[in-house]
Amino acid sequence: MNSRPRILVVAATVQELISFEDGDPPFIPCACGVGPVDAAVHTTRVLAEHRPTHVLHVGIAGARRSSQLSAGTVVIGSRSVYQDLGVDDRFAPSVLLPDTRLLSLARAALPEAPVVEIGTSGRVGGTHTCPVEAMEGFAVLRACAAADVPAIEIRIISNDIEETDRTRWHFAEAFAATHTVTRALVREISRSAWYETPVSA
């Protein structure tokens, strides 16, 4: 029998991270900071320190009005697209896929959640093709890929990308939904991965 999986939960801010409750499987929380640079640096450090077997990247995000994804909607990342990088993929990757096993688990645990591309940019409105926009996803998944640790990005919509009035963004509801989704996915990964061979030891 393999040891219990070591699940790393990465979010940009502490507001997006859950706290332990009775009955929760153990996990490693990491507030990686806002934006792709801090996210890559801090995720890499925590990966080296804790050597997790699985990474769940969660947080709030914006959605384009044309996507018809309303505030509070949970989305699963089908691809993470780095849209600040203006060079050919021969020099550096700009698209990453989630781990297939984690994607299957997420789809089973969140059957109503759309599976969509999530763009990464260091500024609000910096993406131009993806229906969903966040600031850390590609950086977190890139750090995990370099460490050969399976990872996936899950987001909760808090606002329209086009809405410039941040008082109209639904932070509280999105944070609460992030906590609920994270807890469900940590439990699902812990149950499903218990007998699997760890990807990294």
The string of pLDDT tens digits covering residues 107-156 is 999 999 999 999 999 999 999 889 999 999 999 999 999 999 999 999 99
The alpha carbon of residue 158 and the mean position of all alpha carbons in its chain are separated, in whole angstroms, by 15
Taking only the tens place, the pLDDT of each residue in 83-107 is 998 888 888 889 999 999 999 999 9
Q: Where are the domains of the chain?
A: 7-193
More confident residue, 86 or 53: 53
Q: Percentage of the chain with pLDDT > 90?
A: 81
Domain 7-193 class in CATH: alpha beta
Residue with the two structure tokens 């959605």: 63
pLDDT value, residue 193: 65
Inter-helix orientation angle 100-109/171-193, to 10°: 120
- As a whole number, mean pLDDT of residues 189-198 equals 66
**What span, in angstroms and rounded, lies between the C-alpha atoms of 175 and 92?**
33
Two tokens at 158? 């808090």
